[in-house]
Structure 1
Amino acid sequence: MRAVITFVVAALLLVTSISTESASAATKVASTTYTEALTNGKNFLSEHTSEQGEDRLGISVSAAEKIKALALPSDIPKALQRWLKNEKTAMIAFVRLQLTKAGTKLFDNPQFVPWLKYADDLSAQTGKPSAAISTLTAQYGDDALARLINQAVKDSRTKDTALRLQAEQLHHWLANKRSPDEVFKLLELDQAGNGILRNPLFRTWLNYLNKFNHENPSMKASLITPLYKHYSNMRVSIMVKEASKGDQEAVIVARIVENEHWLSNRKTPEAAFVSLRLIKPRDNFLTSNRLAGGSSTSTTTTSDIPTKR
């Protein structure tokens, strides 16, 4: 009888031991599965966000926020209000609205304009400058973002938004002392061709040049240098003649460039007037009945450029 009892007790102990080990193993398996799933999720997000440049640029967005970004909020306006209350950064909102996947279709994305408004509202609430441009620059880089904005300006559906961002981008470049030569290329004016002086972007660039030289007197840049860098001397002359046929704004720009063109080539006043066909060679150019127009040319400066786009 004692032997039977001993056997039963031993059996019960064995079953208990097996159950405990099984439960422990199950817990380990569950824990491992959860850890692997979380790790895989993080790896997936890291892989896909780096494709958009986010991780590569070192933007600080927590893993938890990235995981939440796997699905759009069901009620975006409410989500934006909640984020604003919690003062989520513009970058976090950008990620949560899945705008990192927008690529070159950013201006067509239905979440883009609400995000811009969120960035403005956040700025008003915190008293800090809007982070819209810094966020977009971190995401795309100066060159790609400038190209994106330049394209959007040409589309009537996105023009107003693009012009607003273009102004903010120019302010951002000015604050970071981007040289006018760099900005000339960022605005793709090096590819504008003979009609460059009639291009609204050239007038935008001239105003940037003015502001840059005013704020950085020790780093003053020349108006004519980037033109000569990307176009021949002859082409600059053609550009001036083309612009002279345009509206009042184009004519003013043409005069400014022509003035710089003469000075850089060290033309005499008479040669300058001949180049504009104000007088014939060997005439007394001081008696020309078109002198008034020529005189205004020599005194026209970049401050005369109309600000109206």
Structure 2
Amino acid sequence: MSTQNPEEMLFLELKARFGDEKVAQLLVVAARDDKVKIDVRPLVTVQLNYWHQGGKTAEDIFNLLKLSEVGDELFDSPMFRTWISYVTNLNDKNSDELMFSVIKKHYDDDILDKLFVEAKKEGNYENHCLKIGGGDVAEPRKNDRRRMTTGTMASFGLNDFYTGNDVSPFI
């Protein structure tokens, strides 16, 4: 990373003082807080690039953000949206399979079924749920195959999560 970029310098200072996890939390909160007067998207981009350049895997970032500890609130977690953004940009063509393979390691079928059904029941299926096998959430075990579609993952709020614009961190 270049230390000429002020966003990179600020990110590196924040990371040195607080660590990756706390900086990610700070950026998520700042992006959603109307009182914050700066645009944090450049810092989010720097953080995602930093992880990418550091060779961090989808699993590494899932663990860093402690998403295995979120439980049945996983789909509603702002940190989950950060992870989705990272994985989608890490591997756009196979991001759905990559995301599911990581999630499956940390959550058993019963919890996943509950998450999918709850998301559908809340009426937020298109924006807050994963499509399974390209089909119906009510049949999560159909052929014991699940598949998240990238389009659905992208609609997890990434378009409006960071103040209304797409996050395209790897530029």
Q: Which amino acid aligns with 2:5?
A: S
Q: Which amino acid aligns with 1:302?
A: T
Tell me what 1:105 maps to.
Answer: none
The answer (yes or no) to whether the contact 1:180–1:209 under 8 Å persists in 2 is: yes
The answer (yes or no) to whether the contact 1:133–1:172 under 8 Å persists in 2 is: no
Q: Which amino acid aligns with 1:123?
A: N
Please list every run of 5 or more consecutive structure 1 residues that lacks an aligned counterpart in the other structure. Answer: 1-89, 91-121, 261-271, 278-297
Q: Distance in 1 between matches of 2:69 and 2:37?
A: 21
Tell me what 1:168 maps to.
Answer: 46
Q: Does 1:301 align with 2:146?
A: no
After superposition, what is the alpha-carbon deviation per residue over 1:79-120, rounded to whole angstroms, capped at 9, x for unaligned? Answer: xxxxxxxxxxx7xxxxxxxxxxxxxxxxxxxxxxxxxxxxxx
The answer (yes or no) to whether the contact 2:130–2:148 under 8 Å persists in 1 is: no
Q: Which amino acid aligns with 1:205?
A: W
Note the C-alpha offset of 1:163: 5.1
Q: Percent identity?
A: 23
Note the C-alpha offset of 1:206: 1.9
Tell me what 1:259 maps to.
Answer: 133
The answer (yes or no) to whether the contact 1:183–1:205 under 8 Å persists in 2 is: yes
Match of 1:141 among 11, 14, 19: 19
After superposition, what is the alpha-carbon deviation per residue over 1:130-157, rounded to whole angstroms, capped at 9, x for unaligned? Answer: 3221232233332343344445456543
Q: Where does 1:74-85 land on structure 2 (aligned, <5 Å)?
A: none
After superposition, what is the alpha-carbon deviation per residue over 1:237-281, rounded to whole angstroms, capped at 9, x for unaligned? Answer: 11111222243311xx421xx239xxxxxxxxxxx76x726xxxx
Q: Which amino acid aligns with 1:259?
A: G
Tell me what 1:239 maps to.
Answer: 115
More helix by share: 1
SS at match of 1:131: helix
Q: Distance in 2 between matches of 1:180 and 1:210?
A: 9
| Alignment coverage as a number of residue pairs | 147
Please list every run of 5 or more consecutive structure 2 residues that lacks an aligned counterpart in the other structure. Answer: 140-145, 162-171
Taking structure 2 as the reference length, the TM-score comes to 0.63
The answer (yes or no) to whether the contact 1:198–1:243 under 8 Å persists in 2 is: no
Tell me what 2:67 maps to.
Answer: 189
Q: Where does 1:8-87 land on structure 2 (aligned, <5 Å)?
A: none
For the structure 1 residues 206 and 175, does the alpha-carbon distance in structure 2 shift closer, same or farther, using more than 3 Å as the test? same
Q: Distance in 2 between matches of 1:206 and 1:243?
A: 17
Q: Greater relative contact order (Cα 8 A, min sep 6): structure 1 or 2?
A: 2
The answer (yes or no) to whether the contact 1:197–1:239 under 8 Å persists in 2 is: yes
Q: CA RMSD in A?
A: 3.8
Match of 1:212 among 79, 90, 93: 90
